[in-house]
Amino acid sequence: MLKLFRFLKRYRLFVALVLVFVFLQTLADLYLPTLMADIVDKGVSQGDKSYIWKIGGFMLLVAAGGGICSIAASYFSAKAASGFGKLVRTSVFSQVENYSLQEFDKLGTASLITRTTNDITQVQQVLIMILRMMVMAPMMCIGGIIMAVSKDAKLSLVLVVVLPVLAGAIFAVVRKATPLFKAMQKNAR
């Protein structure tokens, strides 16, 4: 997969835009609970309806901005992934054009078609996931920890216990799922 990233060089601008929009979406997602806490602490507890309406309206703007950033990030990640797929397919096709008849017979036409369609599509989907989810997860984690520590440092010590347990659970799931995914890919051919 790492060797394939050279095909992304043409789409650096799209990748950079995805990173910017994912970052802005993460900021919006992390800011919404703080606004909700302000509504409860200052608006509801003091019975200040105008404050509730003001902050509620601001929450809607922040949520709309986060939604727009999410749509933009999805759009640019799809553009980068589709361009990436196009370049990979072109490269594979150029390589296949140089095969001899014996190599065609050995590999089989069906296998070559599967490799140029399904396999490259799978790589495209992984690229979209990397650009969207795998980039957002660390940003959300770091931002969440910063928010938790800034709100209540003592209470955020719970994260010291929870994060290793969560990391262990994720590692166990990935460890179990990877061989199953490989077996599924092998059976698909």
pLDDT tens, position by position, 144-175: 888 888 888 888 888 888 889 999 999 999 99
- The structural domains of the chain, with segments of one domain joined by +, span 2-151, 154-189
Q: What architecture is domain 2-151?
A: Up-down Bundle (1.20)
Nearest to 58 by CA among 75, 74, 36: 36
Say what angle helices 49-97 and 120-129 make with each other, to 10 degrees.
150
Write the CA distances from 146 to 78, 99, 101, integer angstroms: 31, 55, 61
Q: Report d(CA 101, CA 22) in Å as an integer.
A: 48
pLDDT tens, position by position, 56-73: 999 999 999 999 999 999
pTM (two decimals): 0.76
Which phi-psi region, left, alpha or beta, contains residue 46 (left: φ > 0; alpha: ψ -120 to 50)?
A: alpha
